[in-house]
Chain A
């Protein structure tokens, strides 16, 4: 059913479970490294391979990072809690269980405020808990590379045991037609909180941040929520938004036709933007959780937690509010910079001495256009905030105009060196030599006698064509304002 029609008849309720791999040097319960992309089974030891007799010990930094995440999300921190075994039969964990947390999460009852369409939406956080990541299975044989139809699987345990934080929201009603945007804004904000804390590199494309999206629908005016589905495999911010939209459309179609939603896991496909059915949850999972006997309880010292809270960095949303005031821009301009991932770049450019308006103009204009053309994020452009600030300074000092500045940026992006190098190599200085400018003007006046006569006879507006001629003749290097003054002088009229 088309989205608009679906929203006329039904109200969506969202829920998001986000997994974040912590950026610790070593794994959660052993001293193996956690770096991404190593050859298979080179980051393994008796603990993460579950060899007999091996015992886990919790990583102090992972505990601290999880508490900091909880504090940044306005959570209460447990005074005492335990790890738990989640038992399941699957070869991605060699122990046949995952060490996780069950009814005693380290952090609980928080919230995260996000901005959507100019208004603030508060997302309630149910819990933040700590667990270990699983190994990576590759399914061999069969046509699809998927588990169904595969002949066998091969497993790499490098990822098994990397600290993984799971952040679970409470159900989010009331988002109405903005549900897809709210979901995306939440994951975006969460990613920035993680970045500001420095606890994870949060790269969705490498899987260090992963999202499961729950969606249910209820008829308008109903008070009881519908059956939800859980969509996995949602590995980009755009996919978060698309998967919510697609699942709303799919569920609305079924409900409107008198069908019923099956509570199940679904998989999102980037190529089609739709979800397909995975494991049915009708047969409830039986994980037989129990307290992990190999690890002692966590009882964070109250004073330590208070000190961690005091030492939290300025959180992204508050920082944006501050910068918005300092820069004197509108909320929507700020949201646009946020969505373009430009705020840190603009801030760094301002720190390097550029006026905020100029820094924003270049990053959100010329550079955003080029990044868009190349299909890369702004931060991937081969130009630094310092270089942008230098170009701004040259424009402010009269050495460049905007047109020349764009050529300088192009040169820097092409790897021709610093802005000063590009100016020197391409000869991009504004013509400040009055003699040279005067000679160019004389030539332009001679070539455009008609326009010159019009100006002489008082039609000052015609001077524009002459200034344009000077700019063209100087290949953009003339100072247009000064050229106008000189032309009017030479023609004996006062501007």
Chain B
């Protein structure tokens, strides 16, 4: 049985606003299935004495002090933007969602 269905891949593509053709869906569903299968192998070696982990480092409480440091100028910040208007990032029309 596959770890991820073609329908689930189609759902993810829709959430990511990716227009995938039927051929692409077949292609990516199979690839993702292999990836998830590989990751799932971790579960095979997880013993009861190994707690689940969400991070590679055994650290907690890594903070920085609340101090301001200079960031980017607006020119630098906007230099990679495909389109700029009034010193803001200009983005295509957003449909079907409300902020």
Interface residues, chain A, CB within 8 Å of chain B?
Answer: 24-26, 30-33, 39-46, 48-49, 51, 57-63, 80, 82, 87, 89-92, 134, 137-138, 140, 147, 150-157, 265, 267, 278-279, 286, 288, 291-293, 295-301
Q: How far is the CA of A277 from the CA of B66 in the complex (A)?
A: 40
- What is the number of contacts between chain A and chain B, taking CB atoms within 8 Å? 140
Taken residue by residue from 8 to 43, chain B's Cβ proximity to chain A (1 for < 8 Å, 0 otherwise) reads as 000100011100000000000000000000000000
Q: Is the CB of B64 within 8 A of A57?
A: yes
Whether A155 lies near B87 (C-beta < 8 A) is no
Q: Are A60 and B63 in contact (CB under 8 A)?
A: yes
Residues of B within 8 A of A151 (CB): 93
Is the beta-carbon distance between A40 and B99 smaller than 8 angstroms? no
Tell me which of B63, B71, B90 contacts A44 (CB under 8 A): B71
29 chain-A/chain-B pairs, Cβ below 8 angstroms: A25-B68, A31-B69, A31-B71, A39-B87, A40-B86, A40-B88, A41-B74, A44-B71, A44-B77, A45-B71, A58-B62, A60-B66, A62-B66, A89-B16, A90-B94, A90-B99, A137-B94, A140-B85, A147-B97, A153-B90, A154-B85, A154-B90, A155-B90, A156-B88, A157-B77, A265-B98, A296-B57, A296-B60, A297-B61
Take A41-B87, A265-B98 as given contacts and tell me if A150 and B93 are in contact as well, using a CB distance cutoff of 8 Å: yes
The CA-CA distance from A286 to B15 in the complex, in Å, is: 8
Residues on B with beta carbons closer than 8 Å to the beta carbon of A299:
60-61
3 nearest CB pairs, A to B = A45-B71, A291-B54, A61-B66
Question: B15 to A49, Cβ gap below 8 A?
Answer: no
Q: Which residue of A lies closest to B52 (CB)?
A: A291
Find residues 47-70 in chain B having any chain A CB closer than 8 Å to their own CB.
54-55, 57, 59-69
Contact A26–B60 (Cβ < 8 Å): no
Closest to B65 in A: A60
CB–CB A30/B71 < 8 A:
yes
> A51 contacts which chain B residues (CB < 8 A)?
80
Interface residues of chain B, those whose CB is within 8 Å of chain A, are 11, 15-17, 54-55, 57, 59-69, 71-74, 77-78, 80, 85-94, 97-99
Determine the residue in chain B with the shortest Cβ distance to A294.
Answer: B55
Q: How far is the CB of A285 from chain B (nearest CB, A)?
A: 10
B57 vs chain A, min Cβ distance (A): 6
Q: Which residues of A contact B72 (CB under 8 A)?
A: 44-46, 49
Classify the secondary structure of B's interface with A: loop
Q: In whole angstroms, how far apart are the Cα atoms of A92 and B77 in the complex?
A: 15
The chain B residue with its CB closest to the CB of A29 is: B64
In the bound complex, how far is the Cα of B53 from the Cα of A293, in angstroms? 10
- Residues from chain B with a CB closer than 8 A to the CB of A291 are 54-55
Residues of B near A286 (CB, < 8 A) are 11, 15
A21 to chain B, nearest CB (A): 14
- B residues near A41, Cβ cutoff 8 Å: 74, 77-78, 87-89
Shortest Cβ gap from B58 to chain A (Å):
9
A140 proximity list for chain B (CB < 8 A) = 85
Interface core residue of A51, A57, A153, A300 (most chain B CB under 10 Å): A153
Inter-chain contacts of B98 with A (CB < 8 A): 147, 265, 267, 278-279
Taken together as a complex, chains A and B put the C-alpha atoms of A58 and B41 apart, in Å, by 32
Structural contact, B91 and A154, CB atoms closer than 8 A:
yes
Q: Which residue of A lies closest to B61 (CB)?
A: A299
Q: Which residues of A contact B97 (CB under 8 A)?
A: 89-90, 147, 279
Q: Which one of A51, A91, A154, A293 has the greatest number of beta carbons of chain B within 10 Å?
A: A154
- The answer for the CA separation of A279 and B96 in the assembled complex, in Å, is 8
Known: A26-B66, A57-B63, A91-B94. 6 other contacts (CB 8 A): A30-B71, A40-B86, A57-B62, A152-B92, A154-B86, A278-B98
Q: How far is the CB of B7 from chain A (nearest CB, A)?
A: 13
Contact between chains at A89 and B69 (CB < 8 Å): no
Chain B nearest CB, measured from A34 CB (Å): 8
The residues of A that contact B94 with a CB separation of less than 8 Å are 90-91, 137, 147, 150, 153
- Which B residues lie within 8 Å of A59 (CB)? 63-64, 66
- Collect the chain B residues with CB atoms within 8 Å of residue A60's CB: 63-66
Distance in angstroms between the alpha carbons of A249 and B62 in the assembled complex: 49
Residues from chain A with Cβ under 8 Å of B77 in the complex:
41, 44, 49, 157
- Complex: A272 Cα to B65 Cα, angstroms: 45
Query: What CA separation (Å) do A292 and B55 show in the bound complex?
Result: 9
Closest-by-CB residue of A relative to B87 is A40
Q: How far is the CA of A87 from the CA of B15 in the complex (A)?
A: 9
B57 nearest in chain A by CB position: A296
- Min CB–CB distance B16 → chain A (angstroms): 7
Provide the residues of chain B in CB contact with A46, threshold 8 Å: 71-72
Least Cβ–Cβ distance between B83 and chain A, in angstroms:
8
User: Once the chains are docked, how many angstroms separate the CA of A369 from the CA of B52?
Assistant: 63
Contact A82 B54 (CB under 8 A): yes
> Once the chains are docked, how many angstroms separate the CA of A147 from the CA of B99?
8
Collect the chain A residues with CB atoms within 8 Å of residue B93's CB.
Answer: 150-153
Chain A residues with Cβ under 8 A from B67's Cβ? Answer: 25-26, 31
Q: Give, as a whole number of angstroms, the nearest-CB distance from A312 to chain B.
A: 19
Please measure, in the bound complex, the distance between the C-alpha atom of A51 and the C-alpha atom of B79, giving whole angstroms: 12
Chain A residues whose CB sits within 8 angstroms of the CB of B86 once the complex forms: 40, 154
Tell me the complex Cα distance, A153–B85, Å. 9
Cα–Cα distance between A139 and B17 once the two chains are bound (Å) = 20
Q: Which one of B55, B65, B87 contacts A297 once the chains associate, using CB atoms below 8 Å?
A: B55
User: How long is the Cα–Cα vector from A342 to B97 in the complex, in angstroms?
Assistant: 42
Tell me, in angstroms, the Cα distance from A57 to B62 when the chains sit together.
Answer: 7
